[in-house]
Chains A and B, each alone.
Chain A
């Protein structure tokens, strides 16, 4: 553990504004770095002293965070309730809909079915982290262009999944896209437009 605060950690002044806005300060117990590192070392081999709070370092949308969470907090609840990144949706909370899809170290997963503490040291990307500043991600643009949504509730999960689907090389045909997008349910039935959006991005050949 380095003595300097990591950029983006709660002790880094430049992040203060972000923290205030997100009311992270009230939602999370802030643990000084050295304490976190001592507790982490113990956590790996011995029983956590407390079932209340466990230290957790994550990178979320490029920002390094040092947090303290209850072990029973899911990654989805951490993102939405603690970090106020509400773009990621809770549809079913049981792995059955895909609304909560995020990328962990580049792989798409259902954030509702894992505990946040299991992602120690990992890099999380949510829908908020997909755009490049004000520049929409090509998949976001394609969804807009092709009307890939109606109510929009499933859309963040669809887009995160769609980006992964193309990156994995599973967007070769409409049939393959349908199979590899089957983990994202859309109650509005925007499926054909979603397939069209993904096909356009795939054909465009841009880096996604």
Chain B
């Protein structure tokens, strides 16, 4: 691993300045993604700004929503009583990710910013536009079993690997950011981006901007929720594909409100608004769910090795909605 300078600021502004002024500096939180990528030479920061001394780990409920600090641990959020009460979908998605040990290290901010698990991105001997712009996309004509079916470009077909983010986009979360230009709020759906011609950019975060937290507004999704994760073993594996489903169902089994998002299908967590609209006002039956799943899959396109996702997708959506309705 390359050598680097290490600082551990106790003031937020000092941390932001350190990264804003130096293009080779990076924040480090839990380290579970950055240390991995540094060991492999995929990321080679010259300076690490350890943000763990900043007071950003609170989980609070106020003003009709949860405010979760960027440094709150994935395990702490998943176990938090208020989170489980107000937003059980978020707890389910978090517990579906990684392992207990990793969740004890991984932070909310770091989770959003974890990089793709595309094998070409990880292998520095391979072409990859995301790692090294202009070198080509190894996955496009290569092994693309894990790759996108929505929103890709001919420059990059990678998917975002975070489970937590699939729940957060479904729940209309808002990312709170502080940077050299001051503070701003970014709706979760606009936080990650599609690859287009610049796949090296995963998100719309500007250089030096620090995630300070994420807000999740209260909603009616406290009961009928499910996070369906399909993976190659029962636990401790990234999703081939996942579905976050949340329903609000009235006494006569009619769907009053619905939220639906998929993971493992695009460069960003993939919110399915058209399918949500297809659910509202209908009876919560398997037939309704099948119809919504068909709407959700419109426009999906597979590559050589991931055509299975075109079938797995709608089935996982139906399964997620059925389980949510029965919860």
Q: Which residues of A are in contact with B by a Cβ distance under 8 Å? A: 43-48, 51-52, 54, 70-72, 74, 93-95, 98, 101, 107-110, 113-115, 117-118, 120, 161, 164-165, 168, 170, 178-185
Contacts and interface: CB of A to CB of B under 8 A. Distances in A.
Contacts of B235: 178-179, 182
A44 B104 contact: no
Contacts of B53: 44
Question: Which secondary structure characterizes the binding site on chain B?
Answer: loop
Contacts of A120: 8
Contacts of B75: 107
Contact of A118 (B10, B28, B100, B234): B28
Contacts of A93: 39
20 contacts: A44-B8, A45-B10, A46-B7, A47-B18, A51-B6, A54-B6, A72-B1, A72-B3, A94-B39, A95-B102, A101-B101, A108-B100, A110-B105, A113-B105, A115-B31, A118-B28, A118-B31, A182-B99, A183-B102, A185-B236
Given A98-B99, A113-B105, A179-B235, A70 B30 contact: no
Interface of B: 1-11, 14, 18, 28, 30-32, 35-36, 38-39, 47-48, 50, 52-53, 75, 98-102, 104-105, 234-236
B36 A48 contact: no
A113 B7 contact: no
B14 A45 contact: yes
A45 B11 contact: yes
A72 B4 contact: yes
Contact of A183 (B9, B101, B234): B101
Contacts of A179: 234-235
Contacts of B2: 72
Given A94-B39, A117-B6, A170 B105 contact: no
Nearest to B47: A47
B10 A44 contact: yes
B52 A118 contact: yes
A43 B8 contact: yes
Contact of A113 (B11, B14, B35): B35
B36 A113 contact: yes
B28 A44 contact: no
A182 B236 contact: yes
- CB-CB nearest 8 A-B residue pairs: A183-B99, A182-B235, A71-B6, A182-B236, A114-B31, A183-B101, A51-B3, A107-B104
B99 to A, nearest CB: 3
Given A72-B1, A113-B32, A118-B28, 4 more contacts: A70-B3, A110-B102, A113-B102, A181-B100
A165 B104 CA distance: 12
B7 A108 contact: no
Contacts of B50: 117-118
Contacts of B39: 93-94
B45 to A, nearest CB: 11
Nearest to A181: B100
Contacts of A95: 32, 36, 98, 102
A12 to B, nearest CB: 26
Contacts of B104: 107-109
Contacts of B28: 115, 118
Contacts of B3: 51-52, 70-72
A74 B35 contact: yes
Contacts of B100: 108, 161, 164-165, 168, 170, 180-183
A115 B7 CA distance: 12
Contacts of A117: 6, 8, 50
A70 B7 CA distance: 13
Nearest to B237: A182
Nearest to A182: B235
Contacts of A70: 3
A164 B101 CA distance: 10
Q: Which of A113, A168, A170, A180 counts the most B-chain CB atoms under 10 A from its CB?
A: A113
Given A101-B101, A110-B101, A48 B7 contact: yes
Given A74-B35, A113-B35, A118-B31, A47 B102 contact: no
Nearest to A51: B3
B32 A71 contact: no
Nearest to B105: A109
B33 to A, nearest CB: 9
Contacts of B32: 95, 110, 113-114
Given A113-B32, A179-B235, A48 B101 contact: no
Contacts of A72: 1-4, 38
Nearest to B48: A71
B5 A114 contact: no
Contacts of B98: 95, 183
A72 B34 CA distance: 12
